[in-house]
């Protein structure tokens, strides 16, 4: 009957909530120890130019959990953000990236950069400016080797203040990338107030370009727009040759996606691209 359905769906809802809160507690409870034990690892995914050459990489964190295996950020990032802990993980990954860049620089590996992700919550608990300028000094790397990825949604949470911090970092020499561009609500409006160096087009646009009538036109327009505004543009989520050639025709010159490589452990990245 209707009544029974109603109750069983409520029970299901309860179960889901309970499961989620158990999972949250587990992640939060295990976090500090895991960080100390170096269970969080930086993976790298190449960012590739027109010629198919990797010119840099994005740092993407993975949790090598002793019981659960390799955990993707989807499992823990939101939880750590909500718990006010993400800054600890981010600082750790940023430092790993700086350390690696210093090593590459010392070995004359070439002009590689590493893009790191910044969470909106980082701005509350970390002096982002101090942290990045401090890392550059500590590891004697050039600021443009470390690119800073921030989503438009993250910027919007406190636009004026966050923008001011990013502007100072840019003046220092860091490159700013807008991540997941187009997935938020404010995309076009924010572009007039922002001075980013790189626009990363959310992979949703690439998917839409294949399934929706207007998708192609929208994607191409974003590429043209970024160029007009003096920003480099990189498309995320490139999985096929066909997508690559379409994007190239549209004027996109930089790509990231499984077609080239999934995110891989650092030594695998170095081996594949002949670094070190
Ligand atoms: P993001 O920064 O937008 O990173 C791109 C995501 O797309 C990565 O997922 C990457 O593995 C995935 N991806 C790349 N190419 C393809 C493709 O061709 N097809 C598909 N389907 N996916 C592709 P990942 O590594 O699971 O990370 C998810 C999100 O977690 C990231 O999105 C970022 O927002 C967050 N994240 C990852 N590492 C960190 C970190 O160290 N700190 C913070 N705060 N967030 C992080
Ligand atoms: Mg990113
Ligand atoms: Mg992205
Ligand atoms: Mg994302």
- For 141-181, how does the pLDDT look when each residue is reduced to its tens digit (9 = 90+)? 999 999 999 998 888 878 889 999 999 999 999 999 999 99
Residues with CB under 5 A from ligand 2 (ion): 117, 149, 179
Angstrom distance (rounded) from CA 63 to CA 41: 6
Q: Which two tokens stand for residue 254?
A: 């930089």
Strand partners, 115: 58, 147
Classified as helix, coil or strand, 199 is strand
**Pocket of ligand 1 contains residue 47 by CB under 6 Å:** no
Angstrom distance (rounded) from CA 83 to CA 18: 17
Above 80 in pLDDT, residue 13?
Answer: no
Q: Residue 60 C-alpha to ligand 1 middle, in angstroms?
A: 6
Encode pLDDT of 89-115 as tens digits.
999 999 999 999 999 999 988 889 999
- Average pLDDT of span 236-257: 97
Ligand nearest to the CA of 255: 1
Q: Quickly state the pLDDT bin for 2 (edges 50, 70, 90).
A: low
| Residues 6+ away with beta carbon under 8 Å from 85 | 28, 31
The pLDDT, as a whole number, for residue 170 is 96
Closest atom of ligand 1 to CA, residue 119: 44
Q: Whose CA is closest to atom 4 on ligand 1?
A: 60
**Pocket of ligand 1 contains residue 179 by CB under 6 Å:** yes
Burial class (CB in 10 A: 0-12, 13-18, 19+), 91: middle
What ipTM does this complex have?
A: 0.98
**Pocket of ligand 1 contains residue 152 by CB under 6 Å:** no
Burial class (CB in 10 A: 0-12, 13-18, 19+), 74: exposed
């Amino acid at each position: 009957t209707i009544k029974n359905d109603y109750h069983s769906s409520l029970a299901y809802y309860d179960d889901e909530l309970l499961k989620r809160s158990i999972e949250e507690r587990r992640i939060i409870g295990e976090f500090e120890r895991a960080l100390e034990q170096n269970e969080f690892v930086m993976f790298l995914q190449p960012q590739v130019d027109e010629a198919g050459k990797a010119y840099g990489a994005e740092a993407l964190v993975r949790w090598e959990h002793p019981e659960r295996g390799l955990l993707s950020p989807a499992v823990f990032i939101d939880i750590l953000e909500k718990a006010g802990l993400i800054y600890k993980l981010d600082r750790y990954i940023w430092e790993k990236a700086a350390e690696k860049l210093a090593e590459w620089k010392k070995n004359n590996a070439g002009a590689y950069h590493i893009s790191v992700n910044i969470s909106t919550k980082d701005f509350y608990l970390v002096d982002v400016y101090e942290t990045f300028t401090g890392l550059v000094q500590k590891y004697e790397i050039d600021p443009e080797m470390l690119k800073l990825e921030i989503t438009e949604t993250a910027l919007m949470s406190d636009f004026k203040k966050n923008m001011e911090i990013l502007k100072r970092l840019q003046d220092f020499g860091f490159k700013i990338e807008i991540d997941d561009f187009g997935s938020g609500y404010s995309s076009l409006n924010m572009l007039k107030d922002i001075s980013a160096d790189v626009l990363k087009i959310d992979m949703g646009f690439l998917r839409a370009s294949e399934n929706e009538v207007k998708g192609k036109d929208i994607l191409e327009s974003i590429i043209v727009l970024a160029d007009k505004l003096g920003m480099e543009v990189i498309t995320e989520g490139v999985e096929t040759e066909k997508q690559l050639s379409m994007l190239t025709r549209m004027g996109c010159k930089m790509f990231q996606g499984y077609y080239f490589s999934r995110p891989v452990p650092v030594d695998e990245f170095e081996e594949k691209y002949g670094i070190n």
